[in-house]
């Protein structure tokens, strides 16, 4: 079995992050995660992307910092989902199960990328070159 090197894990994490972020933009603005197509509530997901972009800028794409940034993105995503369900946003087009399921998928992707961004050895707390 082949183990993942730090640079391979970094690239995989970056790929998952980009895929999840672009999918979030497409679903929230194009189709609508909460409510019908064009529901302004979906603009809240821009906050998830803002957390990610600002975090990536602050940590300068450092692997350990990116892991923390992606956990923050997952928490932001979860907060939006919980508030949407508790407030009844999106009804009747988006039932709570649908909102929670879609958001859980993004949360899982962000947390998977965060796990891959984790440094693989004690001496690798530096930025991994791509």
Q: Which two tokens stand for residue 20?
A: 């999840």
Up-side HSE of residue 120: CA atoms within 13 Å toward CB? 12
Given a cut of 70, is residue 3 above it in pLDDT? Answer: no
pLDDT band at 114 (very low <50, low <70, confident <90, very high): very high
DSSP-based helix, strand, coil % in the chain, nearest 5: 70, 0, 30
Stronger pLDDT, 16 or 119, i.e. the higher one? 16
- Measure Cα distances from 14 to 19, 20, 37, 50, 69 in Å: 9, 10, 29, 16, 12
Question: Which residue bears the tokens 């064009």?
Answer: 38
pLDDT digits (tens, 9 = 90+) for 80-108: 999 999 999 999 999 999 999 999 999 99
């Amino acid at each position: 079995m082949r183990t993942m090197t730090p640079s391979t894990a970094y690239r995989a994490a970056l790929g998952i992050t980009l895929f999840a972020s672009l999918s979030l933009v497409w679903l929230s603005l194009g189709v609508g995660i909460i409510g019908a197509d064009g529901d302004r509530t979906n603009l809240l997901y821009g906050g998830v992307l803002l957390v990610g972009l600002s975090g990536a800028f602050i940590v300068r794409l450092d692997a350990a910092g990116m892991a923390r940034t992606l956990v923050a993105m997952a928490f932001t995503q979860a907060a939006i989902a919980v508030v949407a369900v508790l407030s009844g946003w999106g009804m009747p087009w988006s039932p709570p199960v649908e909102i929670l399921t879609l958001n859980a998928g993004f949360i899982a992707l962000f947390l998977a990328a965060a796990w891959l961004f984790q440094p693989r050895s004690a001496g690798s707390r530096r930025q991994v070159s791509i």
